[in-house]
Structures are given as C-alpha cells and as structure tokens.
Amino acid sequence: MLRIEELEAVLPAMVPWRAAAGRGVDWAVLEAALGTALPSDFRALAEAYPVLVVDDFLTVSVPRPGTEALWASEARDDEILQDLFEMGDTGDYVPFPQPGGLISWASSSSGDTFYWRTSPADPDAWPVVVRGDNGDWSEFPVGAVAFLAGVYGRTIDVGGMPGDFPGLDPRVVGLSDDAH
C-alpha cells in the first residue's frame, strides 16, 4: 500500500492543503451507511486532505467531516452508473452494493469517473477502475493513492484521457470542509 508521502513527492502542489491534524472523518458512520469498509490508503488520504481538485480537471472526492452519511449515500446511489448498467454500457462491471460493485472516489471535468471494484473482500486489495467519458473502461491493480501517484509520476497511463493529462506542473486546490 503506497503511502501519502509518496503521492506528495510526485504531486507537491497538494502539500499546502494537508491538514495539520486529522480531519476527523467519522469512519464508523460512513462505513455503516455505506455497508463496507474503505481502503486504508484512501482513509489516510481523507484524514490528511480535503477534497482536492488537480489542474481544474480531476476531483478527488473525500468525505467531509459531518457529512459522512451523505458521502456514503451518494456512493451507494450512483444514478449515472446505474443508468449505464441498465443500458448494458458497463462491460462486466456492476454498481455497488452488488457483489464486486463499483464505488466512485474521483471524477474529471470531462466526465471520466474513477472507481474501486469492491472485490476481493479486502478493501486494501480493491483495484481502481476508470470509465472514460468516451465509454472505455480500464482497470489498474493498485489502490487510489498508488493510482494517483502513478498517474502524476507518469508511470500509469490512462487511455482516453485528454492529451495534456496529467499536466507537467499540476496545480492543486483543496476545497474547504466548510464549503458545501
């Protein structure tokens, strides 16, 4: 499991947004509402950082303290994914809470969505799945933090993304926990 510091090394613009102390996400509330635990790398990222927007393109959607049940509800009721599934446009992927279903953790301004496939049973072993806005699906055998580090460290190439993704010197904006 890749540590946040390794992501910060390839995406240093995120460091100013790091919380001095943990953000205080109530994981018990979130995971009870969601019906599953989440990967430990994502939990560590969400404790250290608010929602991050990289280059006005990629939004990493971590839960905000006090809105954990809402984050879980949105993850469980992914209407776009459900519609794609019903139209037969998800390949072999299914929406969560179906066994092995997808849970979104990031999105792009172009309509790309970044998910975990909730199989195998251990959340730390969940791979990242990307649905490109062009309808292509890609799966990567890494967690969210390793995926982001790979993308911004240029060791993971995500097909179907814009030619300037990732940027050479990505800017990062953290969205305040007070912003709604």
Domain ranges (residues) in the chain? 4-160
Distance CA 159, CA 176 (A): 31
Distance CA 173, CA 165 (A): 17
Which residue numbers in the chain have pLDDT < 70? Answer: 1-2, 177-180
Distance CA 142, CA 125 (A): 7
pTM: 0.92
Q: Where are the beta strands (DSSP E) in the chain?
A: 51-54, 58-60, 102-108, 113-117, 128-131, 137-140, 172-175
Residue 166 one-letter amino acid: P
Q: Is the dihedral of CA 82, 86, 91, 92 positive or negative?
A: positive
Q: What is the pLDDT of residue 29?
A: 96
CATH of domain 4-160: 3.40.1580.10
pLDDT tens per residue across span 23-65: 999 999 999 999 999 999 999 999 999 999 999 999 999 999 9
Q: What is the pLDDT of residue 153?
A: 93
Q: Report the chain's mean pLDDT, rounded to a whole number.
A: 92
Separation in Å, CA 18 to CA 21, 71, 132? 9, 20, 29
